[in-house]
Amino acid sequence: MTFRLLWLGAFLVACSQPSPGPTSTAKSTTAATTNATATTTAAATANATATATATATATATVDAGTPGRPPLSGAEAEAALFPEAPGQTAARERLCPTGKEDRVLCLLDVRFAADASARTVAHDLYAKYGILVGLERDHFEEMSWRGRIHIVPEAPLGKYRKHLDWLASAAQDFDDLFTSLDPEHKVTFKYEWHPFTLRYFRSVDRTTPSAYAAFDTWMIAYNVVGSLNTSEQGVHELFFHELFHRNDGDDAHWSERVLGPIFRTITAKCGTRMPCLTPYTPTTTTVRGGTFYAFQPEDYNPVHEYAAELAIRWYREHRAIIKKLAPVTPFKCGPKENAQSWRLIVDEFFGGVDRVPACAT
């Protein structure tokens, strides 16, 4: 699988394409210990609660607002939930038989047997939005100049529990925003934010990458020790950015085709000089080497990141309006290139919805 990676550090953000597969499948002792929630002991605990919890949540049917793309299920869902325990399929089959109507919810009981409240959150995310909370596989990635990074599965439990809550609050926040913008469901938003699979991981002795999106499937991986994953609203914006990449990919890489000419006009004028780029950048996130993330030249196609940061800006400005927060300076009221990009992304992905007041003439 080819990945579009979002590298998020305190002063470092970059996207790249790592190797298509793991260079090692050796398990780390700490990861195996931390993530051993699918062991016989955990399974025994889950067995006592699986039926009651799954029944209370009913089936894994997502609500009417979910796009037609179905959530992950079957063997693929099981693999996402238990990448560190592929040899325990027989034990899980006894607890959660194949063909069981709510089997994914039952498997979530096993995955989160150690934390009843986390289990409830995971159930709700899948049942309401089709968001499957899973784990990334143990592997090494060659990350260009960043070196070789060991990625291990890490459940959002214990000291990492807040990261599951932040996923849940992001889902609720996105739901509230789009519902408030279109209460009568008359607008077609091409931008989809669910369903998807989220795989949690930890980078060994590193704090990057903070997250990455799969290039060809609706999967996002999230680092519980990511250097930018330190605030709830920051994580919300991280998800909105990553999900835009998936939307962009499904739209035949719209950003390349449509925003590319505008992006090249800006970079031809400014290069990577921050003082020149400041009026054009959708966000102020910077990268190593001293330029804005939206214009980083090291990405294999930097217009993708400009577009994803522009999506964040739409989210940020409309969220402030809907929630009556401090107003955000309108991006579209900057240079003419800003107004052009804003109109294009609003019309393509956000149903033409632009609640930002008109610019002063």
Asked if 155 and 110 touch (Cβ cutoff 8 Å), the reply is: no
Backbone angles phi, psi at 132, to 5 degrees: -95, 125
* Digit-coded pLDDT (tens) for 238-260: 999 999 999 999 999 999 999 99
Separation of alpha carbons 35 and 17, rounded Å: 27
Last residue of a domain, one of 212, 247, 282: 247
Separation of alpha carbons 179 and 189, rounded Å: 11
* Digit-coded pLDDT (tens) for 162-177: 999 999 999 999 999 9
Residues whose CB falls within 8 Å of the CB of residue 320, separated by 6 or more in sequence, listed in order: 326, 327, 328
Same domain, 158 and 195: yes
Residue 315 CA: distances (Å) to CA of 20, 23, 50, 349: 32, 37, 37, 12
Q: Which residues form the domain of 97?
A: 3-247
pTM of the model: 0.85
Quote the number of domains for the chain.
Answer: 2
In a domain, 357, yes or no: no
In a domain, 283, yes or no: yes
In a domain, 354, yes or no: no
In a domain, 88, yes or no: yes
Same domain, 170 and 293: no
User: H helices of 58-161, where?
Assistant: 74-81, 89-95, 103-111, 116-124
Does residue 348 or residue 60 have the better pLDDT? Answer: 348
Task: Check whether 40 has a pLDDT greater than 50.
Answer: no
| Rounded average pLDDT over 230-240 | 97
